[in-house]
Chains A and B, each alone.
Chain A
């Protein structure tokens, strides 16, 4: 019966193919957005060549949810499909922190009666192993904050900077499927360097 369950789990939604989907370079339709991002922050960014079904990674496209660049040049690019009729969400976040490799701190807020208690915690916590792709050794974090709450997150360092990709654990994808998705995503990443 366990084997049957495993087979069923593998029959979950298939990954979408990226347009022009090869690892050779950022897909043509997605490249302009990622290139603009790299230019804007004046640092390399990682463009995926694969995304979990049904998402694509076109900045400014139908699945873009958040596109945010902070004063310190760190960025958050988020893609979301919110399913109808309780069918679930697919939500992937990409982050970069140019010029820093430490795990950022996040603010926590707890309500204690009428009082609001502010605290600080690591934005990514509970490391649970590593995942590798060519040129990347990423740590898997299971407890994450802010836009990455309820997500499994991979974080790695490159060129004195910290990068992350995370996916929400929520149907239609189970925890195990999200971990698998992130493994595929990691291997699909290609660097887009700033121009000029």
Chain B
């Protein structure tokens, strides 16, 4: 089971497309999709919510993700936080006024790390940060590693992360410039860029085109039209959390305390390198299906990319354990679903009924050729390279750090009730883990829109 040897493609071809240059191909390779979604009436209270259109892919309703995403992480460079709050809020409002709040315009999400709350507003944070009553822990926890993480995974300590999402690269660049070049509030620590989709109407998808153009090993093996590098569609509507489900308050997991962070959520940000050649040269299609989804899925037509994962197809913990006992392996989706899907019909705080099997996490991940980032302030620490490499910037919204951790631990076979599906970390029996390498992680809190700028400093 040789899954360790890999070498990056060297040479001028890769170097020519290194760093940010490759992303400039995006607009040329895939024009922005036609969006039929109506503009939201007014600004939602949530920063993380984005209304996206859907298409049908192989009989399954699939959400069309924004073509481009970027994240800028930073530490702060402020001596007077109150003034900084006004300055940032004004800049964000100018962006709000300039761009529609949808993928054709721009969606900006400002998330704050524990170092910010600890250093700048410790007293207020003690009183107002939400508390996860289910976990009996703060809703925002120090970032941790997981069993399948390699030893070198960096736990970051940024004060802030800003997520930009748009079909237009120039919109993202305008906003990044407005917040990180024109203002002098931040010391950027990294810029992360990426893309998703683009192949829903036939032909090659954006990830495939860009990976091939960059000469990334395994690029030629990505199936035609694949939404992401690994060949399966991950944004099917029934598999994503509904609009407000990831809010702190919706499912009742979190005590909002003062209510300051009502309409807020938790965000986890990580970078994961993907070994495409190992995936496509060591796992045949059937094994890719049972690795990505669950053992026993033997009826999936060869070449299928969108495998239905709605509430009706959700794997229960019992099924997961039984199949593990039979086969000695578990699938990526099946293990996560044991933690990420509602176990019974649940009524949200606003009266919305969420049926059993509904997904809680709202994913906003996107593929990247960053290695590991498009730019970093500390290339040595981040082991930065200008050689493009296949990966994913994993961005996900959950009601709390603990909720994310439950999902991520389940991916490693540690289920919420403490059951352990015991296989060594990173073996091919353990879902995707053998071909993934997490390089960086950090937890953030996403305040509601009204408190997105330097939360709590006004108190």
Contacts and interface: CB of A to CB of B under 8 A. Distances in A.
B93 interface: no
Given A5-B213, A112-B429, A174 B16 contact: no
B382 to A, nearest CB: 22
A2 interface: yes
A176 interface: yes
A82 to B, nearest CB: 12
A148 to B, nearest CB: 10
Given A8-B11, A110-B428, A142-B221, A150 B284 contact: no
Contacts of A28: none
Contact of B9 (A109, A117, A171): A171
B422 interface: yes
Interface residues of A, number: 32
Interface in B274-296: 277, 280-285, 287
Given A126-B285, A143-B284, A5 B218 contact: no
B40 interface: no
B282 A143 contact: yes
Contacts of B422: 112-113
Interface string B1-20: 11001010111110011000
Nearest to A7: B13
Given A110-B328, A112-B429, A174 B217 contact: yes
Given A109-B1, A171-B10, A126 B284 contact: yes
B104 to A, nearest CB: 26
A142 B223 CA distance: 13
Interface of A: 1-2, 4-5, 8-9, 86, 88, 108-113, 117, 122, 125-126, 142-144, 149-152, 169-171, 174-176, 179
Interface of B: 1-2, 5, 7, 9-13, 16-17, 25, 212-213, 215, 217-221, 277, 280-285, 287, 328-329, 422-424, 427-429
A169 B277 contact: yes
A149 B3 CA distance: 10
B277 A150 contact: yes
Contact of A110 (B9, B284, B429): B429
Given A2-B213, A112-B328, A169-B277, A9 B13 contact: yes
A176 B220 contact: yes
A143 B281 CA distance: 5
Nearest to B17: A1
A162 to B, nearest CB: 18
18 contacts: A5-B13, A5-B213, A5-B215, A9-B13, A110-B329, A112-B328, A113-B423, A113-B424, A125-B284, A143-B284, A143-B287, A144-B281, A149-B282, A150-B282, A170-B7, A171-B10, A175-B217, A175-B219
A175 B10 contact: no
Contacts of B217: 169, 174-175
A133 B217 CA distance: 28
A86 B284 CA distance: 28
Nearest to B213: A2
B284 A1 contact: no
Contacts of B287: 143
The 9 A-B pairs at the shortest CB distance, nearest first, are namely: A125-B284, A143-B284, A126-B284, A8-B13, A175-B220, A117-B328, A5-B13, A112-B423, A176-B220
Interface centre among A1, A122, A152, by most B CB within 10 Å?
A: A1
Identify whether the interface residues of B are mostly helix, strand, loop, or mixed: loop
Contacts of B282: 143, 149-150
A117 to B, nearest CB: 5
B427 A142 contact: no
A110 B11 CA distance: 36
A117 B285 CA distance: 21
A176 B219 CA distance: 9
A119 to B, nearest CB: 9
A102 to B, nearest CB: 17
A151 B9 CA distance: 17
A5 B211 CA distance: 12
A117 B17 CA distance: 43
A9 B17 CA distance: 14
A32 B36 CA distance: 70
A174 B220 contact: yes
Given A5-B13, A111-B424, A112-B422, A86 B328 contact: no
A189 B429 CA distance: 39
Nearest to A141: B284
Contacts of B281: 142-144, 149-152, 169
B12 A174 contact: no
Interface centre among B9, B25, B220, by most A CB within 10 Å?
A: B220
A86 B7 contact: yes
Nearest to A177: B220
B428 to A, nearest CB: 7
Contact of A88 (B7, B13, B17): B7
Contact of B12 (A8, A122, A151, A169): A8
A120 to B, nearest CB: 13
A170 B285 CA distance: 21
B208 to A, nearest CB: 12
B16 A1 contact: yes
Nearest to B423: A112
Contact of A143 (B16, B213, B283): B283
A12 to B, nearest CB: 9
A125 to B, nearest CB: 4
A90 to B, nearest CB: 14
B314 to A, nearest CB: 25
A126 B279 CA distance: 12
Contacts of A1: 16-17, 25, 213
Contacts of A111: 424, 427
Contacts of A171: 7, 9-10
